[in-house]
Amino acid sequence: MVKETRVQRKQRKRRLFLKILLFLAIIASLVVWSLNTSFFGIKTINVEGTNTLDEADIIINSGIKFGENIIKLSKNKVEEKIEQNPYVKTSKISKKLPAKIKIEIYERKPYMQIEYNYSFGILDNEGILLEYSQDKLRDITVLEGFQWSYINPGESVFTEENQGIPADFFNDEELDIIVSKLKDIVYDREDNIKINLYNGIVVEFGSITDVKYKLRMLEEIITDLEVKNIQASKIIMNKGEYPIVVRDEK
């Protein structure tokens, strides 16, 4: 085997260096081209997952512009802009080269509404304030008689100033079905909450203790009444160990 001379080694290293330099130059040229060419200009924006929100508003709030370079687009910044809307719980941005954007939305839904001055604060099931509405929303449970201080949309109602809000009615998806049957929850006095159901039954719920347990029990009672087709006018849950169902004799 012929031993490589010193000159040959230098020439080989030089050729390798030139190849690497050429490769890097090509990569740099491709990067510059991709960041400036209209080929990667955004042409399509699809929005998925909206129920109440308007897709056009989502696109406007995202700040994405048609024709904008898709490679330059920061997904995190776009998601932050979209999630400034209190009704948006989470968002996810996906890029599909060369020119398509997909925006996936997971919405917060109205769960309860609480009186505030001459309006209603609309809350989701985590206690996040979605908006203030001048009108009472239909088919959304109303909290009445509970004192609370102003918060901004997007903030949680559970603050040091709002300790009177019954937190146990929230943060449990298993309660969504029974809560949907409650027309209003009325703070009557410290040891008794009154609940009016959409079917006309009045519930003497008792104090705000063991709320989740009592709500599940109430759901079982209502289901049993519906299955057996029993008409009731009142359910008493604050007298003794077991609930009392007062039948409607009409």
Secondary structure of 76-111 as H, E, C letters: HHHHHHHCCCCCEEEEEEEEECCCEEEEEEEECCCC
DSSP helix/strand/coil, 186? strand
195: nearest Cα among 187, 184, 206: 184
Tokens for 34? 């991709």
Q: What is the pLDDT of residue 55?
A: 95
Asked if residue 181 lies in contact with residue 201, where contact means CB atoms within 8 angstroms, the answer is no
User: Is the C-alpha dihedral spanning 53, 55, 59, 60 positive or negative?
Assistant: negative
Q: What is the pLDDT of residue 113?
A: 95
Q: What is the pLDDT of residues 134-150, one digit of tens each?
A: 999 999 999 998 888 89
- Taking CA atoms, 47 is separated from 53, 54, 63, in Å, by 10, 9, 14
E strands, the chain, are: 44-48, 88-96, 100-107, 112-116, 119-123, 129-133, 141-144, 182-189, 192-197, 202-206, 232-236, 244-247
Tokens for 178? 């029974």
Question: In angstroms, rounded to a whole number, what is the distance separating the alpha carbons of residues 23 and 106?
Answer: 44
Please give the chain's pLDDT, 250 residues, in tens: 566 677 667 777 777 777 787 777 777 766 776 677 778 899 999 999 999 999 999 999 999 999 999 988 999 999 999 999 999 999 999 999 899 999 999 999 999 999 888 899 999 999 999 999 999 999 999 999 888 889 999 999 998 887 778 888 999 998 999 999 999 999 877 678 899 999 999 999 988 888 999 999 999 999 999 999 999 999 999 888 889 999 977 6
pTM for this model (two decimals): 0.82
CATH of 38-107, one of 3.10.20.310, 3.40.50.880, 3.90.1150.10, 3.40.50.150: 3.10.20.310
Q: What is the pLDDT of residue 33?
A: 66
Q: What is the pLDDT of residue 1?
A: 56
Q: What is the pLDDT of residue 36?
A: 74
In the block, tokens 């298993």 appear at 174
Tell whether omega for the bond before 166 is within 30 degrees of 0, i.e. cis. no
User: Domain coordinates of the chain in residue numbers?
Assistant: 38-107, 112-247
Q: What does DSSP say about strands 44-48 and 100-107: parallel, antiparallel, or unpaired?
A: parallel
- Class for the domain spanning 112-247: alpha beta
166, with CB counted inside 10 A (0-12, 13-18, 19+), is: middle
